[in-house]
Structure 1
Amino acid sequence: RLTGPHGQRVLAARSQLKTVAARYGALGIAVFGSVARGEERPDSDVDLLVELPPRMGLFGLGRLRSDLEAAVGLPVDLVLAGDLKPSLRGRVTADLVPL
C-alpha cells in the first residue's frame, strides 16, 4: 500500500492533503487505484476519493483539486464519494487507503 514513488509522495504530503480537504469541509479523504496498490506508472495521477458536503459547486471542486495537486505535487483525479457508481464501489473500496 502506497509503496511506489507516487505513494511515498502522498505519504509525505498526508498532513497537507488532510488540511486542504478539511478547509473545503471534507469529511474524509482516501487514496485508491494504482497509487494505493503501489502499481503506478510515472504518468499516473493520484486517485482521491473525497466525502464532501452537497453544497460544493463546480468552482469549489476545481479549487479543491488544484489545492490538492499543489499539496502532493502530482496530478489528481478527484472522485466524490456520493457520486461513486455502485458498479465501481467494490473495486474502489478494495484499494482504499484513508489518509
Structure 2
Amino acid sequence: MADACLHLLDRYDGPEQVNVGTGKDTTIKHIAEMIAEVTGFEGSTEWDTSTPDGTPQKLLDVTKLREAGWEARIGLREGLESTVEWYRDNADRLREAG
C-alpha cells in the first residue's frame, strides 16, 4: 500500500480516486485458510451462515493504478508470511514499548 501511494504521488495527478489492489479476487474463506496455515493455527473456523454473505464480488478496478505503472510485487501469501515472521521476531519488544 505504501509503495503504491509513493508511486502515485510521483505519477498521478488526476481528480479521481485510484483503487490500490492486485486486480485478483479471493474469498474470505481462502484468506482465513491462508492465515491459519501461515500462523500454524490448528483450530477450526466456524462460519455464521445465518447472516448475509455480503457483496458476492469485492474485486477493485485497478485500471488507473496500472495505467500509472504500478503493480503489486508481493503476493498475498508472501505478505502474510513476512508480516507474521516480523511480528514473531518483534513481539516481545513491542509489548515492552506499549
- Larger Cα Rg: Structure 1 or Structure 2? 2
User: What's the TM-score once normalised by structure 2's chain length?
Assistant: 0.26
More strand by share: 1
What is the TM-score when the length of structure 1 is the normalising length? 0.26
**Relative contact order (alpha carbons < 8 A, sep ≥ 6): 1 or 2 greater?**
2
